[in-house]
Amino acid sequence: MKIFVGASLVFCMALLGLGSAIKCYKCRDYTGSCTKTQDCRFEDSCLTLNERGGETYRQCIKHSDCDYNLLSQMFPQVSSFTFKCCSSDLCNGASTTTTSSSVLGLLVSLAVWWWCVL
């Protein structure tokens, strides 16, 4: 019985972060030191759009809009840019050392499983 309960907890914890919406940085700046965040919708990704020689835009964006042609229409004031879309919490920050909630859920699940087995 203890193993069944432990396995159920592991399964539930692993799925905990998979169905939730993400959080992204939201700002428009030159420095990359963005601290303001926003909660995104379920179908959103985080966008980082770098204007060549200019500002960096960070925000939530519908995942299907992560396309150069669509972004050109959404940001007509930006003539030349590079962009990146990602789908984990705060992944559009200046550093790439963020931990996703699903990885954290998996680690907690493994710890609970280890405790139940011993």
- Residue 66 region by backbone torsions, left for phi larger than 0, else alpha for psi between -120 and 50, else beta: beta
Give the relative orientation of helices 2-15 and 101-117 as an angle to the nearest 10 degrees.
Answer: 170
Tens of pLDDT, residues 6-32: 545 444 444 444 556 899 999 998 877
Which residues span the domain enclosing 16?
Answer: 2-117
Note the pTM of the prediction, 2 decimals. Answer: 0.64
Query: What is the domain-level CATH number for residue 54?
Result: 2.10.60.10
Cα gap 87→78, rounded to integer Å: 24
Number of domains in the chain: 1
pLDDT value at position 87? 95
Tens of pLDDT, residues 40-87: 999 999 999 999 988 999 999 999 999 999 999 999 999 899 999 999
Given a cut of 60, whether residue 102 has pLDDT beyond it is no
Q: Residue holding tokens 């879309």?
A: 85
